[in-house]
């Protein structure tokens, strides 16, 4: 990624090919042609959720301080100032989240926290950095900040940083307002799921894909900034005319997609941004001129070509390699954790309270269950599903 924090990236495309130029009216695929320039104004990372696997956070002093602050916040029904930190003032809120007991906030990030010991299977913190922090600090800066905050303010060390969500975007200045008709005519996508949000009968946001995996949003950024009373400082130096129709193209990538393309660690983000953008704007979704019945043979729309060309600005472009096996399903310890989580319920329902008795009873029940079935055939089938050569799997026998 080439210094996304510096000056705005202005890319001008003068359209000369009549077959691919922007229509003069609202972008709807009509035959009237305009020679207005298309400009990519800014691009970068808008949002990222980072799961943190840290050393033991479950020590009395930290627990007492946070519990006390959370109790006061609960009585006030609002966040309270906890302390001054390396990231500025820290607020503690009365409620955490579904998975985390504590919610802390600075001007750079929201931090969701559990005061637990380290586990390779469950993060004990989650950072959500603001778009402004990403813009100001960049990826190296936010990594340094979270590591320092965990060390200096929480007294622990980060073992692993796992990206669990990543939003990457480009803001494009178009000569006219986009319409749903235009997008439906020109979009070619792997996903067949789409919906539109309208404001005063005008398209506000076009969605394509599924949240949690890949979701593309194409929305009116100018209207969004005006609605929320935000400034146009990001676009310093851009003419007033270009600011009238800024549209954001944004891709939200969930944990499953990030893992599929081997983005399992923080540094993997930087290494794969260019390749991700190239894949998302070329193979997963693109805008193409409807000049052929076969979508793959349709020429790319000129303004979308400028969006695609940003890949090299994000970073090195190479072929994305997919993981054939899901990480958790290729690690036997995941199954141990899963079985262990089910064991207390099995014990209660079986009338057991002792661990050894419960495990012995479970062993008997499992043996009885599999005596009626073909365990060897089940193992062979599972080996195929996991992409493992079962002939290399040998029984460990103790004599």
**According to DSSP H, which parts of 95-130 are helical?**
none
CA distance 170 to 43: 4
Mean pLDDT of 85-103: 95
Mean pLDDT of 182-193: 95
| Predicted pLDDT of residue 29 | 32
Smallest Cα–Cα separation from 41: which of 205, 244, 330, 207?
244
346 phi and psi, to 5 degrees?
A: -60, -40
CA distance 242 to 172: 9
- Provide the 3-class DSSP secondary structure of residue 11: strand
Average pLDDT, the chain: 84
pLDDT band at 108 (very low <50, low <70, confident <90, very high): very high
CA distance 114 to 123: 8
> Would you say 6 and 200 are in contact if contact means Cβ atoms under 8 Å apart?
no
| Predicted pLDDT of residue 329 | 52
Cα–chain-centroid distance for residue 268? 13
> Would you say 28 and 185 are in contact if contact means Cβ atoms under 8 Å apart?
yes
- Provide the 3-class DSSP secondary structure of residue 165: strand
User: Between these two residues, 34 and 384, which has the higher pLDDT value?
Assistant: 384
| Predicted pLDDT of residue 7 | 32
| pLDDT single digits (tens) 358-399 | 889 889 888 988 888 888 888 888 777 776 776 665 554 432
Smallest Cα–Cα separation from 180: which of 197, 192, 166?
197
pLDDT band at 332 (very low <50, low <70, confident <90, very high): confident
| Predicted pLDDT of residue 331 | 65
pLDDT band at 37 (very low <50, low <70, confident <90, very high): low
CA distance 346 to 352: 8
pLDDT band at 330 (very low <50, low <70, confident <90, very high): low
Smallest Cα–Cα separation from 87: which of 117, 50, 132, 54?
132
Smallest Cα–Cα separation from 39: which of 8, 4, 6?
8
CB hemisphere CA count around 218 (13 angstroms): 25
Mean pLDDT of 132-149: 95
Q: Is a pLDDT exceeding 90 seen at residue 242?
A: no
Q: Is a pLDDT exceeding 80 seen at residue 323?
A: no
CB atoms within 10 A of CB 228: 7
Q: Which residues pair with 90 in a beta bridge?
A: 83
pLDDT band at 9 (very low <50, low <70, confident <90, very high): very low
Cα–chain-centroid distance for residue 300? 27
∠ CA(294), CA(300), CA(303), 5° rounding? 150
pLDDT band at 71 (very low <50, low <70, confident <90, very high): very high
140 phi and psi, to 5 degrees?
A: -60, -35
| Predicted pLDDT of residue 6 | 35
The model carries a pTM of 0.75
Smallest Cα–Cα separation from 190: which of 251, 264, 269, 273?
251
| pLDDT single digits (tens) 279-311 | 999 999 999 999 999 998 999 999 999 999 999
Q: Is a pLDDT exceeding 70 seen at residue 20?
A: no
User: Between these two residues, 232 and 217, which has the higher pLDDT value?
Assistant: 217
> Would you say 160 and 4 are in contact if contact means Cβ atoms under 8 Å apart?
no
Helix (H) or strand (E) holding 50: strand 38-54
Mean pLDDT of 99-121: 94
pLDDT band at 5 (very low <50, low <70, confident <90, very high): very low
CA distance 260 to 196: 28
């Amino acid at each position: 990624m080439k210094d996304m924090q510096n000056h705005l990236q202005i890319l001008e495309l003068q359209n000369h090919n009549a077959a691919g130029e922007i229509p003069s009216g609202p972008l709807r695929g009509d035959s009237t042609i305009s020679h207005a320039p298309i400009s990519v104004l800014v691009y970068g990372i808008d949002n990222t959720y980072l799961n943190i696997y840290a050393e033991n956070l479950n020590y009395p002093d930290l627990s007492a301080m946070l519990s006390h602050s959370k109790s006061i916040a609960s009585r006030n029904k609002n966040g309270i100032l906890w302390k001054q930190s390396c990231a500025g003032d820290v607020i503690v809120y009365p409620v955490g989240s579904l998975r985390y007991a504590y919610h802390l906030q600075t001007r750079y990030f929201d931090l969701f926290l559990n005061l637990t010991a380290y586990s390779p299977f469950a993060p004990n913190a989650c950072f959500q950095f603001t778009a402004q922090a990403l813009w100001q600090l960049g990826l190296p800066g936010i990594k340094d900040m979270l590591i320092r905050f965990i060390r200096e303010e929480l007294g622990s060390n980060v073992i692993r940083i796992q990206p669990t969500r990543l939003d990457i975007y480009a803001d494009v200045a178009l000569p006219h307002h986009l319409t749903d008709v235009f997008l439906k005519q020109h979009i070619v996508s792997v996903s067949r799921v789409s919906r539109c949000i309208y404001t005063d009968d005008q398209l506000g946001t076009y969605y394509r894909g599924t949240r949690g995996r890949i979701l593309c949003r194409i929305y009116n950024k100018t209207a969004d900034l005006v609605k929320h009373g935000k400034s146009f400082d990001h676009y310093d130096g851009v003419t007033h005319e270009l600011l009238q129709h800024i549209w954001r193209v944004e891709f939200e990538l969930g944990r499953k997609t990030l893992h599929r393309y081997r983005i399992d660690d923080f540094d993997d983000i930087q290494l794969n941004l260019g390749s991700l953008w190239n894949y998302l704007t070329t193979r997963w979704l693109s805008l193409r001129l409807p000049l052929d019945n076969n979508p793959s043979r349709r020429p790319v729309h000129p303004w979308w070509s400028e969006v695609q060309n940003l890949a090299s600005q994000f970073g090195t472009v190479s072929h994305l390699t997919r993981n054939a096996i899901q990480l958790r399903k290729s690690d036997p310890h995941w199954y141990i954790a899963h079985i262990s989580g089910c064991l207390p319920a099995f014990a209660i329902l079986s009338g057991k309270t002792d661990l050894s008795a419960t495990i012995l009873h479970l062993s008997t029940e499992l043996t009885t269950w599999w005596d009626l079935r073909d365990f060897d055939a089940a193992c062979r089938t599972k080996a195929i599903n996991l992409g493992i050569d079962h002939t290399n799997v040998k029984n460990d026998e103790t004599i």
